Amino acid sequence: MSNRQRFKDPGLGAGWPRRQLTFQGSLCTVSEMPETSDAPAKIEALGAYWESLAGGGVPERSALDIAQILPLLPYVMLIEFEPDPFVVRYRLTGTKIDDWVGMNVTGRTLNEFLPSDRTGSSAYLMACYEKCWRTAKPVIGAYDWPSVAGNPLRIWFGIYPFSIGGEIRQFLVVEDFGAVPDNAEPLPWLDPHTDEK
């Protein structure tokens, strides 16, 4: 069974029919997310840990103990955001994330990559982060990133909200590349600071 048959259209990822985001005020909504039951093991593992911290409610960031998720750390990002305007900043990124992106994005914002994104994935991810913040619930999703050869590479992710002083201010995010062939070469991100526009 092909990936197109097995997985639902996640939204704006490359390789799928593009769908428009719906805006209600400043709220972005993402429809037709993949079935969470299809999520790979890394997504499930971080989800189970997150749920254990506050019984499914949003835990405080101080409750996070990275020693409990050591095997996941290369695939994890700690992200903070500003609500108005909505800005998503990478506070820490794992080594596998950096390898995939082709650069270390710690300290950078997702917003700055929006204009140069050739796939629509950045806009999709922005909407998923906002959905996680607005709903105070985890968001499980997937998108296709093109390879150098032009083939779509399926990336799964899980976004889990954390509070600081009772307000959702950060996300712990895990990406799973298990569906990507070992010999696949992802198309590198365009860095708006160094690449030609």
pLDDT of residue 190: 65
- pLDDT one-digit tens code per residue, 120-175: 888 899 999 999 999 999 999 888 877 777 777 888 999 999 999 999 999 999 99
Does any domain span residue 87?
A: yes
pLDDT of residue 65: 96
Does any domain span residue 7?
A: no
Longest Cα separation, the chain: 47
Q: How far apart are CA 31 and CA 22, in angstroms?
A: 9
pLDDT of residue 177: 84
Residues 6+ apart with CB under 8 A from 175: 42, 75, 77, 96, 97, 100, 155, 156, 157
pLDDT of residue 37: 56
Does any domain span residue 69?
A: yes
Global pTM value = 0.78
Does any domain span residue 94?
A: yes
Range of 50's domain?
13-176
Residue ranges of the chain with per-residue pLDDT less than 70? 1-38, 187-197
Domain of 99, CATH number, reads 3.30.450.20
Count of domains for the chain: 1
DSSP string covering 29-42: E--SPPPGGG--HH
pLDDT of residue 195: 57
DSSP state of 26: T
* CB distance 69 to 42 below 8 Å: no
Does any domain span residue 193?
A: no
pLDDT of residue 147: 75
Does any domain span residue 145?
A: yes
DSSP string covering 89-116: EEEEE-HHHHHHHTS--TT-BSGGGTTT
Per cent of the chain over pLDDT 70 is: 75
pLDDT of residue 165: 95
Helices (H), 14-161: 41-54, 95-101, 121-135
Does any domain span residue 74?
A: yes
Does any domain span residue 157?
A: yes
pLDDT of residue 16: 30
